[in-house]
Amino acid sequence: MTKAVTCISPIDGAVYAERTCLEPDAARAIIDAAHAAQTAWAATPLSQRIAYVQKAVAHLGATTDRMVEELAYQMGRPVRYGGEFGGFEERASYMASIAQEALAPIVIEDSETFLRKIEREPVGTVLVIAPWNYPYMTAINTIAPALIAGNTVMLKHASQTILVGEHLADAFKAAGLPEGVFTNVVLDHDTTSTLIAEGRFRLVNFTGSVDGGRAMERAAAGTFTAVATELGGKDPGYVRADADLNAAVDTLIDGAMFNSGQCCCGIERIYVHESLFDGFVEKAVTLVSSYVLGDPRDPATTLGPMANTRLAAEVRAQIDEAIAAGATPHITTMPADDEAAYLTPQILTNVTHDMRIMRDETFGPVVGIMSVKDDEEAIRMMNDSQFGLTCALWTRDADAAQSIGRQLATGTVFMNRCDYLDPALCWTGCKDTGRGAGLSILGFHAVTRPKSYHFKKVTT
């Protein structure tokens, strides 16, 4: 029986898009074509590969109005925020700008007697499995460096944002990319696992849930296929006694609530020095109470629905469990809350780490806030998590932030900001957040392999 994937719009629960999944043999034929195209693509001069990627980015930039509208329908992001092209372009352009340096040989010796060097070669065909929450930006994190480095790429996008993969394929086709170098596919989970288990890819890059990451690693077991995973987090913020309170509230609460809280590196728990705790909570409640929950197509809406009702139900369950266990809610139910995808944002105090709201990934517009007496307690609380993606420290003391950061099990340490991917820095995590390296020079290392050359020159 032929399977299909369906995008149910969170706006109204209607079917927005539906696509038929590829049968396994059809998918194998596409992979074979990608393998066949890879040798010639890798032999294409680096400058030309960069130009292809830049041309595709420019093509996508000419369709931003469509991007904004479709993201509202597919995953509920309000149109007032303007889509994702800014971040998409920033990341692709930065990776293009550093490619020459990142892929340059490391020459140990080039003398009359020896040439010793390390070069970087593309791994081959890369499977990118992209998520729906930032569907353009997360995909380009790997697609751009993989193509620039000489790999061929197959993209499997999330069903919630199935049109994004098609538009990326259209952009690369418009850029003139040779046949087979970039392909968008629609696959069900079983076929995806089967293809990985057959060793048909040299790298699988997966962004999604912890269970999804485990499925990728199980499928690849014994094939020696590299698997890079970014599996989300329970990212903390810490407001020290010397922090700029207004800036901390504005930025941390935005980091918790933007995109309806559906951010891998969104702020999900906040620890505030006891001297600032009451003021922080008061300002945070005032800010969140001013949000307008509603139809993402309305420019007045500041908070749209969650991407689907299943995710919203999990967020509500965590909130209800916390309140039943003694947590205090501070935000009154908003008129647009429909007990389905439209979910009132929430701030909780009197929370503890015994509650799932402070322990499990919530991935919704809610944050728990706790008082701490000093750095030592804050460090202990921030590290008390199975995840390790980012943390955000609010302080005027950079030396203190550096000291605290070195004691945290996390991939990125922010000071006086949060919820941002700097393409010049490595995007990575630890613990159940997964493993891998995206963006920066290390992003190129992740999609290439080292090859050493040791030449003893003939002398007479």
> Which residues are known to be catalytic?
230, 264
Helix axes 398-405 and 375-383, enclosed angle (nearest 10): 40
- For 51, counting Cβ atoms within 10 Å of its Cβ (0-12 exposed, 13-18 middle, 19+ buried), the class is middle
Q: How many other β-carbons are positioned within 10 Å of the β-carbon of residue 399?
A: 8
CA neighbor of 273 nearest in space, from 359, 135, 369, 166 = 369
Return phi, psi of residue 459, to 5°: -120, 150
What is the C-alpha separation between 116 and 329, in angstroms, rounded? 64
Cα-based distances in Å from 225 to 26, 28, 178: 21, 16, 25
CA neighbor of 214 nearest in space, from 200, 229, 225, 199 = 229
Residue 8 CB partners (closer than 8 Å, separation 6+): 14, 15, 16, 308
What is the C-alpha separation between 267 and 107, in angstroms, rounded? 43
CA neighbor of 84 nearest in space, from 8, 161, 19 = 161
CA angle at residue 430 from 426 to 435, to 5 degrees?
65
* Concatenated DSSP letters of 56-79: HHHHHHTTHHHHHHHHHHHH---G
